[in-house]
Structure 1
């Protein structure tokens, strides 16, 4: 069975990859070699609203992990946010306070990409971020890029650049580690257990005089509309449903719940933790989707095929025919054979 990987992927903005291409070229990887390695054509990077799905994005990350961390990441600034993600940039810069701006950034990071996690802990005067990479978790280049974007946003609210940023990374120190420390304002530690960035500020909740209160709700609605558009195009839970349905239709697969989950993670090249977290973000979980698919498939198999109840039970991964009968009756108030007879009778009446 050939996986339909493109439809089963979350996405990232192609702007990330477009900005990375010069670093690949500088490392000796020609544009032609980049296309061969990743499957991303240069035309894919032209559309300013283009998105790259997970399989090809993973190839980019793995290729980047084999290179040295590009020094150009230290040049990221807030104008990059405006240029590549104007909806997100406008919202973040027109916030009432710095804390609100950071909240907007975290809430709408999906406009940039959906293959990593940026966790945040806040107190009255301190904010700490932890960056978790789904692909190449032991590399630090993605964390550095994300932290630089955050710093650019925070410094837009602290134009005197007085904020000192403390950071630690899981990867080895790049040759320009001293420049990172100079940029952050404090020494940076490498080979740590997690990617973390934190800073202290007494001005987190200080109102910004330039804040346009009338404009902010409109900008937030615009960001939500764009994020919803992207998520509907690539809704993860809907694609998981499709893949569960394909697994159940293949008699060669083990249909038990634990095996289905393992097969699903293997097909998506992800971990159970990441799968669970992504589904939680869409308000669902694997077991709920599994039962939903099995309910729909049981109705379809009973009404559209001549398979016996025992065969349907086995195909859907139930431990026994009686377990399947209890499952079906709990959802339809009819045992499977009565449901089949009912649907056949209803079909005959329509033909009469």
Structure 2
């Protein structure tokens, strides 16, 4: 499966600690300890997403995700920051950021939406359960905002969003978002958008340097190739996505849409890999069942509900088919 720098997770956990949260119990459940994380290593994206989902359930502050954007350091983006800062204009930097977005810490997808007077940097978020979704989206939007603002401070510029759209229902803490971003914020959208005036995008960057830009582009290309050389399959991506849900699971059509595919293409490519969606759904349920039986004291009935079974008997029957023993026997062992 694909991996990326563990630095993003380190920033997240350190930020939670500074906000008065205690992420260590969640890390411990995943066999990790903050003081033993090596910032030069990489983490599997599936594992990282599961940690994020568990952290979202543990945090007490509903604005924790929004506040966490402030803890992502500019230097942590490596050559990507220098690539952006040596672009000729703000628009060129925006397009370079979209092209090399896999070198950032986001899980969503960045794109550009042009307009006559205002254009938008668009973030299409990855689907997750409601609480984890808000936690992750708030962090990705505020983190992207922090990156752009930090670069502007370094360059002596002041390009602000005219307004920001958020892809979640309006929360009770909505006023905090406008205070944080310094502009109007609206909620209830399907995607996040940073609306920017076109004349601001045409501004020349004082640090533009074609020669240095070529050098940093080559470095970013090397990092991108290393990521794309991963052995991650479509089945891995489907399992990653399904692993984020509990209670009810998305169908093949919804998963395909989240991965940017048609349902027909999803099923065909899975078949080419020797898999089918139904079996992958069972595999995701089995993995979650094992985790809950090992690391929680939830009853069989509660675990059945988290796996989307209306009755515990159906879960017990399925688990016996997967593991060759009952859930209680598995937990006792």
Q: TM-score range by the shorter chain?
A: 0.5 to 0.7
Unaligned runs of 5+ in 2: 276-333
Q: How does 1:136-147 map to 2 (within 5 A)?
A: 136=129, 139-147=133-141
Q: Deviations over 1:214-235 (max 9, x none)?
A: 2222211211110111221343
The TM-score normalised by the length of structure 2 is 0.62
Q: Deviations over 1:269-296 (max 9, x none)?
A: 785455566486xxx86524634759xx
Aligned residues, how many? 256
Q: State the structure with bigger RCO (CA 8 A, min sep 6), 1 or 2.
A: 2
1:140 is paired with a residue whose SS is helix
How far the C-alpha of 1:76 sits from its partner, in A, is 5.1
Unaligned runs of 5+ in 1: 1-8, 244-260, 295-352
**Farther off after superposition, 58-67 or 93-102:** 58-67
2:124 is paired with a residue whose SS is strand
Task: State the distance in 1 between where 2:26 and 2:52 align.
Answer: 8
Q: Deviations over 1:120-164 (max 9, x none)?
A: 312354232133123335633322332233334444348453523
Say yes or no: does 1:199 pair with 2:191: no
How far the C-alpha of 1:18 sits from its partner, in A, is 0.8
2:207 is paired with a residue whose SS is coil
- Whether the 8 Å contact between 1:127 and 1:200 is mirrored in structure 2 is yes
| Cα-Cα RMSD | 3.7
Q: How does 1:1-352 map to 2 (within 5 A)?
A: 9-25=1-17, 26-29=19-22, 31=24, 33-42=25-34, 45-67=37-59, 68=61, 69-70=63-64, 72-73=67-68, 75=70, 80-81=73-74, 83-113=75-105, 115-123=107-115, 125-128=117-120, 129-136=122-129, 139-155=133-149, 156-157=151-152, 159-169=156-166, 170-173=168-171, 175=173, 177-190=174-187, 192-201=188-197, 202-237=199-234, 240=235, 272=252, 273-275=254-256, 278=259, 286-288=267-269, 290-291=271-272
Q: Deviations over 1:75-101 (max 9, x none)?
A: 357xx23x2121211111111111111
How far the C-alpha of 1:103 sits from its partner, in A, is 1.3
- Whether the 8 Å contact between 1:93 and 1:101 is mirrored in structure 2 is yes
Task: State the distance in 1 between where 2:230 and 2:41 align.
Answer: 13
Task: State the distance in 1 between where 2:57 and 2:6 align.
Answer: 18
How far the C-alpha of 1:213 sits from its partner, in A, is 0.9
* Change in CA separation of 1:88 and 1:49 when aligned onto 2, cut-off 3 Å: farther
Task: State the distance in 1 between where 2:157 and 2:148 align.
Answer: 11
Answer with 1 or 2: which has the greater Rg. Answer: 1
How far the C-alpha of 1:54 sits from its partner, in A, is 0.6
How far the C-alpha of 1:212 sits from its partner, in A, is 0.4
- Whether the 8 Å contact between 2:3 and 2:42 is mirrored in structure 1 is no
How far the C-alpha of 1:264 sits from its partner, in A, is 9.9
The TM-score normalised by the length of structure 1 is 0.59
Q: Deviations over 1:31-64 (max 9, x none)?
A: 2x12233343436732334223313422322422
Task: State the distance in 2 between where 1:187 and 1:23 align.
Answer: 26
- Whether the 8 Å contact between 1:106 and 1:118 is mirrored in structure 2 is yes
2:128 is paired with a residue whose SS is coil
Task: State the distance in 2 between where 1:73 and 1:265 align.
Answer: 23
Q: Which residue of 1 aligns with 2:282?
A: none
